[in-house]
Structure 1
Amino acid sequence: MFSARHPKKGLGFPILRILVLICLGSCALLDFAVAAYEGKETGEQALLRKLFSHLQDGDILLGDANFENYFLLALLFQAKADVVFEKNGARHIDFRKCDQKLGSKDGLFKLTRPVRPEWMSQELYDQMPAELVIRAVKNKRRTIITTLLDAEEYPRTEIIALYLKRWHVEIDFDVIKTTMKMDMLRCKSPEMVRKEICINFLVYNLIRALMGKTAKHIDKTPRELSFKTAQETLVSFLQTLLGASGDWLEQKIINVLDIIGQHIVGNRPGRSEPRAVKKRPKPHKRLQHSRSQARRLKKYQGK
């Protein structure tokens, strides 16, 4: 999940929350939900509930500790999707008291249904199971909660290794916000802002599709390729591709795939970055009017 800003305030929602569902293997954006940055039903869990219809039987959902919630686990269980979440800080897990021990720092626990939250109707609350069985596994740094209960089919080390791949989504967020410049939205009305978001995500998926084709062409995985290289190569060849046809078009497409395939990104397991930015705020006021209007307003007049 990430946020996006509008350069002007007072235009419906200057800051948005955007929750995206991204495929770990292909990097494709499967679905997304948008809400105002503040207010009821605008949090990450509320947005995820809007995306349940996209989940299919057998899917495994990776998420951070914010999603590790009893009712979210129960709803995902009903959707027949498995989860691998980091343990919520409020939940106490004691491996000495697990209901069934599966190994060192690996066991099954029974969770009891808590009181009904405000967002849930009484009818839906009554449909929630009185108990949930979850599995907890731990390494030196974190505890992982999962609904993959079979220790033989899903070993502890593989569960932890899978969760560590969640870092890839942070790279995908950086691509969307920085490389595609979606951290600042330009349209003014809420309807046009939503269209702007959709167009950006469409272009993102088109570039990811080109990277998928390249990965198959050079026998690599899509995550081994550079998004920036794919974007710049596509822009460089755009006019040539639009004017090509037949065998010449096929040859130009192969040239594009070869160029993209020459830039392989490194494997950086266990990557962790500080939640801080290098860019310093400028001492000047934010320009929230057109330049012609700003020249006449006293608030922009410097000494």
Structure 2
Amino acid sequence: MSTTTVPNRVRILKEKFSRSLGLPFQKLLPESEIEKALNELKIKYRRRLFDPLVTLWTFLSQVLDVDKSCHNAVSRVIAYLAAEGVEILSTDVSAYCQARARLPEQLLEKIFGQAAQSLEEKVTTEYLWCGRSVKVIDGSNVSMPDTVENQKAYPQPTSQKPGCGFPIAKIGVLFSLATGAAIALAIDVINTHDIQLARNLYKFLQIKDVLLGDRAFCAYADLISITSLGCDAVFRKHQSRKTSMRKGKIVGNCDKFVIWYKPQKCPTGLSKEEFAALPLTLAVREIYYYIIIPGFRTQQVSLITTLLDTETYPTLEIVKLYDDRWDVEVNLKHLKSTLGMEVLRCKSPSMVRKELYVYLLAYNLLRALMWQAGITYSTPPLHLSLQGTRHHFDNFIPELLGNSEVKCHQIYQILLKIIVHKPIPQRPGRAEPRVRKRRPKAYPLMKQPRTQLRRQLQAV
């Protein structure tokens, strides 16, 4: 029987993780910053195998893996220890699951925010848009296990019968246009409007940021809120506002200044005091253009922006910027499809939120790898494949673990070089039909709770 103490096993695991998952985070989120976050939140913990740092690294490795089970995550920890001649007597996952539950949600939110900010600080002037940092915002949905707690916190759609659906949460995510990294997250129930989530994310904007979004976010009060923070916005005009070519001061081809007036009724989500504090008018800039690419549903686009300086922010640059808004759709697809965040695994609302933060942290880890590879080998980081980066990273981890520290860093440099070998083809204007070729299995949809269906089977 091994007599190795728990602190020694913790040291071994920390060393293993620092040579694999920790390599991209050495400058982005070093261990010292995690310890600092623990101290700031006054989090105290006992000396055990799954301390906060080991638990966090194990959780990260779990969401990055194709097999996201807790058994697979614990098996990885056992393998790391076995390679150093340390034996663990039990493969039970309860210790790890309890350790995940002990991780405070505030800690994961703080670590995720620090990692995102650290990556954002690496952005140089050449990656800015007209000298400004651009943030992109959008909303989406995630599903989770059908438990009583999850249903109470994030109810399933009312169109589904009880027991026949899954709890669904609405999320709003703020991304960096320069790095593709996730900056902030807001979570609420499914029937929450995107703009309500956005109002919880404005506080994460920095002075001089430009917020980019679709027409769901284009509201009078929100444009006021964004400008009051020292930021600007570029949104597609909401469909409820009609475009008139005769109104406004023309300042360029398909470009004009327009005065918007305060709504007569208080919008949903604003208090009477907030509505009363809104100014009576707002000067905005409206840019309208046409899309003639075959296959595109949208044919006419009207943009609303608070960027009123036509010399610093030319019409064409703003149009190109809005075209880049599609990147947020791709980023959400990476999170939900590539990494598997679309269907969460945790069975309580607090663990669901923790799982979301860890997914975003893992996503930023890959973005940090892509950024470092692109900067090192003079390739635009956003032109690299996130799925390809994930494949290379997973395949290099065994080699990183099995060598000395000096050799490990040599292999890591090769990893960065390999990542830039798989750029994403640039296909502007490509359109694909929205159809499915792969046929689903011919099973009917569940229209009754599982317990009732089981009783029907037993009665046959």
TM-score (norm 1): 0.90
Pick one of 21, 24, 30 that aligns with 2:183.
Answer: 30
Q: Which amino acid aligns with 1:134?
A: V
> Aligned equivalents of 2:329 and 2:247: distance in 1?
35
Q: CA deviation at 1:221?
A: 1.3
Q: Label 1:285 to 1:117 Cα distance change in 2 as closer, same or farther (>3 A).
A: same
> Aligned equivalents of 2:193 and 2:459: distance in 1?
40
> Pairwise CA RMSD of aligned residues?
2.4
> Aligned equivalents of 1:101 and 1:201: distance in 2?
43
Q: Which residue of 1 aligns with 2:455?
A: 298
Three-state SS of the structure 1 residue aligned to 2:351 is: helix
What do residues 233-275 of structure 1 show as CA deviations (whole Å, max 9, x unaligned)? Answer: 1111112223434321221111111111100111233455666
Q: Label 1:218 to 1:270 Cα distance change in 2 as closer, same or farther (>3 A).
A: same
> Aligned equivalents of 1:132 and 1:90: distance in 2?
17
2:399 is aligned with 1:246: no
Contact 1:135 1:146 in 2 (8 A): yes
1:238-277 to structure 2, matched below 5 A, reads 238-271=397-430
Unpaired segments ≥5 residues, structure 2: 1-138, 155-166, 291-299
Contact 1:20 1:31 in 2 (8 A): yes
Contact 1:164 1:270 in 2 (8 A): no
Q: Which residue of 1 aligns with 2:250?
A: 101
> Aligned equivalents of 1:76 and 1:299: distance in 2?
57
Contact 1:176 1:204 in 2 (8 A): yes
2:313 is aligned with 1:154: yes
Q: Label 1:249 to 1:7 Cα distance change in 2 as closer, same or farther (>3 A).
A: same
Three-state SS of the structure 2 residue aligned to 1:202 is: helix
What do residues 35-74 of structure 1 show as CA deviations (whole Å, max 9, x unaligned)? Answer: 1102xxx211010100111101111111001111111111
Which stretch of the first structure deviates more once superposed, 8-17 or 229-238?
8-17
Q: Which residue of 2 aligns with 1:2?
A: 140
Percent of matched pairs sharing the same residue? 35
> Aligned equivalents of 1:297 and 1:253: distance in 2?
53
Q: CA deviation at 1:188?
A: 0.9
| Higher Cα radius of gyration | 2
1:66-105 to structure 2, matched below 5 A, reads 66-98=216-248, 100-105=249-254
Q: CA deviation at 1:123?
A: 1.7
Q: Which residue of 2 aligns with 1:181?
A: 340
Q: CA deviation at 1:150?
A: 0.9
2:289 is aligned with 1:134: no
> Aligned equivalents of 1:272 and 1:127: distance in 2?
45
Q: Which amino acid aligns with 2:339?
A: M
Contact 1:285 1:300 in 2 (8 A): no
Q: Label 1:60 to 1:111 Cα distance change in 2 as closer, same or farther (>3 A).
A: same
Q: Which amino acid aligns with 2:235?
A: F
What do residues 3-54 of structure 1 show as CA deviations (whole Å, max 9, x unaligned)? Answer: 111242643320111111011110110001111102xxx2110101001111
Q: Label 1:112 to 1:242 Cα distance change in 2 as closer, same or farther (>3 A).
A: same
> Aligned equivalents of 1:241 and 1:300: distance in 2?
53
TM-score (norm 2): 0.60
> Aligned equivalents of 2:372 and 2:205: distance in 1?
25
Q: CA deviation at 1:279?
A: 5.8
Contact 2:286 2:302 in 1 (8 A): yes
> Aligned equivalents of 2:433 and 2:143: distance in 1?
22
1:199-278 to structure 2, matched below 5 A, reads 199-271=358-430
Contact 1:109 1:135 in 2 (8 A): yes
Q: Which amino acid aligns with 1:4?
A: V
> Aligned equivalents of 2:226 and 2:438: distance in 1?
39
Q: Which amino acid aligns with 1:51?
A: L
Contact 2:384 2:423 in 1 (8 A): yes
> Aligned equivalents of 1:249 and 1:69: distance in 2?
52
